[in-house]
Structure formats: C-alpha cells, structure tokens
A and B are shown apart, each in its own frame.
Chain A
C-alpha cells in the first residue's frame, strides 16, 4: 500500500467490515464491502451509506464573498437564499474545468461553503487563493476537520429522521440544507436517488456510521457510487469533465450562466465557443451487444475514430451496455449509429441521452 495515501475518519470501520480498499483521489477508500451489484441495488431500492469524508470543504467569507464566488463559479449565486445549494464549475480562462462543485449559501451574510472533489482539494484551494487577490475575502480549507456520510436511497429520509433523529431533514427540499453548530445536513447526493449528505466532526460521523449500520443501512463503496452516478447522468471530474473539457462540451451548459452573468472566469471562452459551436459533445451510447464499453475505448464511424468513451458499464439498473462518450459534433444527434471498439472487435451502438436511469429526487 502506498504510504502517502490519506485515511478518512472512518478508515478503521471499513477495515473492520472487510472492505476492498483502493486508492482514490489521494485517499485509501472502500471500493466495495460485499459486491457492487448488491450495494448498488440497496441504494436504488432501500438505503445505503457512503463514506465521502474525502470530499473537500472550503469556506469563503468576507465583505466581497458573493462577488468573489460569482467571479470563480460558473453558476449564478447572486441573491442566493440562505440554506440553498447550487451546482456548477470553476473554470480556467480558456473555459476548461478546474473542478465541479457545490456552493452552499450559509445562514449568515457573506458566508459560503464550497464542496469540492477529493482529488482536487489542493488544486482548488490554491486556485481560489490565487484568484482572491484584490477581494476582501477569507478562503479557509477545512477539509481535514469535516467528515461526511452520504445517506442515499428511497428510505434515506426514514433513517435520517427515525434512526439519526434529524427531524428537520424531512422538511428539506432538493438542493437545500439546514445546519446546527457542528453539523450540516443537505438534501443532495450523487446517486440519482433521494438522500442526504451529512457533514460533521470525525467523532459525530463515526457515531452516525455505527448507528446507521446497526439500523440496517447498507455500507456502500465507491464502486457502486460510480455505477449509480453514471446511470443518473452525473459527471465525474477526470472523466466527463477535466482541464481539457468545457461545460458546453460536457453538455452542462445550464450550469454555466453566460447569459445571466456579465463576468466569471472562463465566460469569454464559453461565449466564443457557443458562437462558434462546439466541435465535440458528451453523449450517451447504448450497445445492442452485451460487450462492455470502458473509459478510453474508441468510438468509430466507418472505421474512423470520432470519439472516446469517458465512462461505461453494463448498467446494473437497466441491464444494458451503455456509456458516456465525448464525440465529434457531427455524430451527436440522438439515434446516430456509431461503433465502439472493444479490444479486437467493433460493436454497433446508437447515440442516446446521457441519463440511463430515471432519477427519483425529492422536490418540495
């Protein structure tokens, strides 16, 4: 095992449960406890819990906080209500992606929480600090002190309220949260199901994990976190988004407010790209065969490569071989016939939407 990998506050729990552990985003993380299919189905049909303590929590506050966050964030936080959450990206000036993240508007003026990908914490923090010059803001990376559990699935609310005693959770709408002095509970997730992400101290998170486990919530590893988010059409940084991919190419233009906002880093590049038209775009592809398309496999038309798979699986919830791929614009219309090269053979596929599973979010 590589020595420089970080452990989350729940590491000992994973080892005690016999999880298969593997490096992810600089951390040693549980991939699965039993098997990916069973854990995936637990989240789709009952409830599962994930250790997502590796995610980063960066707090931004100060008189210029709103202006600064809106400068670095692609979505529009102007006038955002307390307790609301927005998804979006931080972009480089050329429009490619530093990271995708959630912005939480805190319950005090001029305070925001940015939740970023584990693999990008250091890069994001440095990026934010560099951009903060000239703004009266404090950028505070608290990733080391917060643990996080994602409680996901149709029964998540029941466990949050009855097992954890988090009564206010039942009143939360999708992409809103409440907080106490030492805990944040948001109705968010990365699975396509209803659920909560709970941020608290390492000690509180450990106690919560034990309580949920004793109540029958299924511990779920990063293996099924990826199959779940993939089916729900949610991007993963490093695959569907990266420092070489813009939100427009990723099909996430609705989270980059080039009309509503006069300025944010990367905006000019996106405006130019939109005017010129993207040359490639992220699409879904479904194969007729059972062969499984994987990240990196070529997408071809008449033997010529026109794209590359960014994530692919034999979808557990739909039992279809499907993938998301970045494909030349000419081949992105729904229904377009393409082929995917899997080892020595090519398999016919058809372009589809990127979401393969109907999501079950809770809207209030």
Chain B
C-alpha cells in the first residue's frame, strides 16, 4: 500500500494539495510516483499561468510514458519547484516532500471537492 499523509487534500488524478493560507502547494502522490516508475522529466507550468480546477498543467514522464497532471484547484501559479528540472527523481524518493508548484487559490471552496487521506487510500485500493 502506497503511503499517504494526513491533513492533505487528494484528487482523483493523484495530486495532493497542502494548504498554506491562500496558497495551495501541489504535488503527486506516492501512489502516482510508484505507478509511473523512475521519472525522467517533469513538465511544469510557468509562474503567472492561470489554471482552472481540473485543467492540465504539465506532466510527469518515465522512460515509457507521460502522465498528465491536473490542477486540483483554480488559481494563479506563484512558484514552481525548479529543483525538479534537473532532478525529477526527487519525486520517486519522496513524493510528499517534493512539491511541484504553488498556486494562489481563487476559490478555496473547491478544496471541499477533494478527498481526505483515508478516502484517497480507499480509492487507490480499488485501482
């Protein structure tokens, strides 16, 4: 069983969200990195990109495949994790310690549509 972290929000497309005030820190889950295998590239958005909830914002890529990333909440990208540009394997090493982007939320109520850790784990168990 892939690990989860309590207190985060989870999307059906395997992103996690950590809320810091009005900013959503977003990454991929341990389940997602494990399913992808060794990652060789992270395609990230640019700062100031405006994203809608559910919109594709990039991808994580292993040798054999690309997996699209979807933004769990609407808002504006305020920071990307540039360390991933040269070291995508950080997501394999610890998917929760290494975020991908930070988004200033335009509608924090969208968080209510996401899952808690227990619900997300139950969903993964059925995949």
Contacts and interface: CB of A to CB of B under 8 A. Distances in A.
A119 B38 CA distance: 28
Interface string B7-45: 000000000000000000000000000000110110100
Interface string A11-53: 0000000000000000000011001110000000000000000
Interface in A311-344: 313-314, 316, 342-344
Interface in B49-66: 56, 58-59, 61-66
B63 A313 contact: yes
Q: Is the interface of A mostly helix, strand, loop or mixed?
A: mixed
Nearest to B38: A35
Contacts of A223: 63-64
Interface string A279-315: 0000000000011101000000000000000000110
A343 B43 contact: yes
A152 B59 CA distance: 33
Interface size class, chain B: 10 to 19
Interface residues of A, number: 18
Contact of B61 (A226, A227, A314, A316): A314
A291 B41 contact: yes
Given A290-B85, A343-B59, A36 B41 contact: no
A314 B63 contact: yes
B81 to A, nearest CB: 15
Q: Is the interface of B mostly helix, strand, loop or mixed?
A: strand
B68 interface: yes
B68 A36 contact: no
A7 B29 CA distance: 33
B48 to A, nearest CB: 14
Contacts of A316: 63
Contacts of A32: 37
22 contacts: A31-B64, A32-B37, A35-B38, A36-B37, A36-B38, A36-B62, A36-B63, A36-B64, A37-B38, A37-B63, A223-B63, A226-B64, A290-B41, A290-B85, A292-B41, A314-B61, A316-B63, A343-B43, A343-B56, A343-B59, A343-B68, A344-B56
Interface of B: 37-38, 40-41, 43, 56, 58-59, 61-66, 68, 85
